[in-house]
Structure 1
């Protein structure tokens, strides 16, 4: 009687989860072992080999495995040979499903050499007890290995070590320590250009177009050109080009001013490759982790611009002077730029966008650009005088070693809140007497007592926050020369340009009657510092007397 000849395929798999066993489990060694096994059998002919090099055993959506299933479906093979069960897979539920249900239904013979398993000769105990136990053990190994890797990476993140496979464009891993990153001078130049062009008023798409025209390699191509084996889900063509999306991804990344953010997402579990985003409070963040390509101030300026409507007018390459900075003081909408030409003279003015769309939504809020420029320049002159006074007060503070706590305690706003606290304490203490004398009822007593206690708690919390804020401003900012030089830098009072506006102004609210309100960057610090300067001035006068 002629033997039934099985048409077989080798299935080979290796992944990084195999750790130190990588050499013994190598694709080549698996193939050699199967070839050796074939010398002892005469009823099997191998016609194909399917392999997955670098794919986890917990996921059956592997290209080699899927191609093998397709071959089975097309009746090209009816036998699968693997070195052992772990090469076939490590997810015990799917392993058992294929071996106990899918393959028998399809008439496929399954052989795991080192596990001494052959579905053609196996009994019920082998198939339904021994093999599932071995499959479960392989699954457990994978779970434990995943937990160890996750714990190891978490520990490295928590001490500020970089654990990513690739570094953001503009940086590279240090040659001497791969867990640290440093500036890549070539790419960093283009990152600086991107930030500068954005601050000059160019749109994201125009920046991308300019980089493409200059022949600057896009991040993915640059990584490959420098020898990095880089793969990205963002790239859909053999070569990549700069896009507006790539530009905004760079502009929004705080890594460029020295902040490292890691642990922002996590795999659902070791069996599922899908990542879930983690809440920001669970991220691992290190400030001043590495040298920045841009300054924090430049980064924050760009974030401010990105948050605004900064669309560029048709035919223009850059934003206008006040682009993205003007808001209606009443409805909060943007102001839009308009021009009128009369007898060869062009007049530029701004009006409320809500009014422009529908007249009953808001009023016109019209203001000419030349009037606006003059109002802003006048305000900047006052700003300059204020920073002079603050700088003078800070110098006096340093030279005379004034007690910062005393300055804080005597701040006018804090004293005012303390007076309110004292008033409520007096009212609280008077309640018992008023109750005893019959002025108020017990219900009124309970209601007023709760109200006064709530008010006192709120005011005392306010005082504590103000004191902490002022202490931080004094100790960590005003007494820090580098911060003061940035914060108190005097504006150049020549012609108003966009660089000057972005350096000092966050937004300008325009009201009817050509009135404006300028919201300066660092405005809270500026106002508080001015109050401290006033207090220092009083101390200086008292000493002089």
Structure 2
């Protein structure tokens, strides 16, 4: 299996990047392109990037992150922990708000259905109308209850999740001096890579392109 196969994703649409190889091509000609763009022009932009460009960046970044982790373990752990805490708090805030909103909506629905029931008893709305409206509200409430269960499970997992910094450091200690890449090293350290569309540098004929590396065990980290 090629070293980067299945690891690159489009930063815009989230689709995997498709490996393009021609018969007789040398490695420096091989490139990746967004699968959505390849299947349907206009659905996304190409996000085209050469294999060797990704490999050069990966080697540099793997060497940088492992060197920093080796030489400054305490700082590295502190950096990852702070980043994870910020991310966790952001997700928890969002999830808890949706959870509270869903519970409030259920309380509102219960009140609406109770009023409908009373209106039906008093003859203000027909039995047929009552049944139709009550059914719709019941379905919405069931959907909300299901979502609440999902949110509560997600929040519990996030709060209990152990940070894997020490596990990452064990990998770092295993590889003392990385001179070149191979599939084992890439898959040991890298979870996935998101590739942005290239864009022209203002006032030049040059282009720049950003990729985001998500490391195994610790996610995206800036050294």
Normalising by structure 1, report the TM-score. Answer: 0.25
| Residue from 443, 453, 457 that aligns with 2:145 | 453
2: CA distance between counterparts of 1:416 and 1:335? Answer: 39
Aligned twin of 1:325: 4
Unmatched segments (≥5 aa) in structure 1: 1-308, 310-322, 340-346, 397-406, 531-545
Over residues 345-398 of structure 1, what are the superposed CA-to-partner deviations in whole Å (9 max), with x where a residue is unaligned? xx823135999xxx97897935262x33443245447745995654136899xx
Structure with the higher helix share, 1 or 2: 2
1:507–1:518 contact (8 Å) kept in structure 2: yes
- Structure 1 residues 445, 517: CA separation in 2 closer, same or farther (over 3 Å shift)? same
1: CA distance between counterparts of 2:81 and 2:140? Answer: 48
Aligned twin of 2:189: 504
Q: What is the CA distance between 1:461 and its match in structure 2?
A: 1.7
Q: What is the CA distance between 1:425 and its match in structure 2?
A: 0.9
| Residue from 28, 31, 42 that aligns with 1:348 | 28
- Structure 1 residues 354, 487: CA separation in 2 closer, same or farther (over 3 Å shift)? closer
How many residues are aligned here? Answer: 175
1:352–1:365 contact (8 Å) kept in structure 2: yes
Instruction: Tell me if 1:429 matches 2:103.
Output: no
1:431–1:449 contact (8 Å) kept in structure 2: yes
1: CA distance between counterparts of 2:114 and 2:68? Answer: 55
- Structure 1 residues 349, 508: CA separation in 2 closer, same or farther (over 3 Å shift)? farther
Once the two structures are superposed, the pairs formed by residues 234-249 of structure 1 within 5 Å of their partners are none
2:95–2:155 contact (8 Å) kept in structure 1: yes
- Cα RMSD after superposing both structures: 4.9
Once the two structures are superposed, the pairs formed by residues 27-38 of structure 1 within 5 Å of their partners are none
Aligned twin of 1:392: 78
| Residue from 412, 418, 429 that aligns with 2:90 | 412
Over residues 252-299 of structure 1, what are the superposed CA-to-partner deviations in whole Å (9 max), with x where a residue is unaligned? xxxxxxxxxxxxxxxxxxxxxxxxxxxxxxxxxxxxxxxxxxxxxxxx
Once the two structures are superposed, the pairs formed by residues 94-493 of structure 1 within 5 Å of their partners are 309=1, 323-327=2-6, 329=9, 330=15, 332-336=17-21, 338-339=25-26, 348-352=28-32, 365=48, 367=50, 369=52, 371-377=53-59, 379-380=61-62, 383=65, 389-392=75-78, 411-437=89-115, 441-468=133-160, 470=161, 473-474=162-163, 477-478=164-165, 483=167, 485-487=169-171
2: CA distance between counterparts of 1:364 and 1:452? Answer: 38
Larger RCO of the pair (alpha carbons < 8 Å, separation 6+): 2
Over residues 307-354 of structure 1, what are the superposed CA-to-partner deviations in whole Å (9 max), with x where a residue is unaligned? xx2xxxxxxxxxxxxx43245645654444833xxxxxxx82313599
Unmatched segments (≥5 aa) in structure 2: 10-14, 120-129, 199-208
1: CA distance between counterparts of 2:56 and 2:152? Answer: 43
Aligned twin of 1:155: none
- Structure 1 residues 494, 454: CA separation in 2 closer, same or farther (over 3 Å shift)? closer
Residue aligned with 1:425, SS:
helix
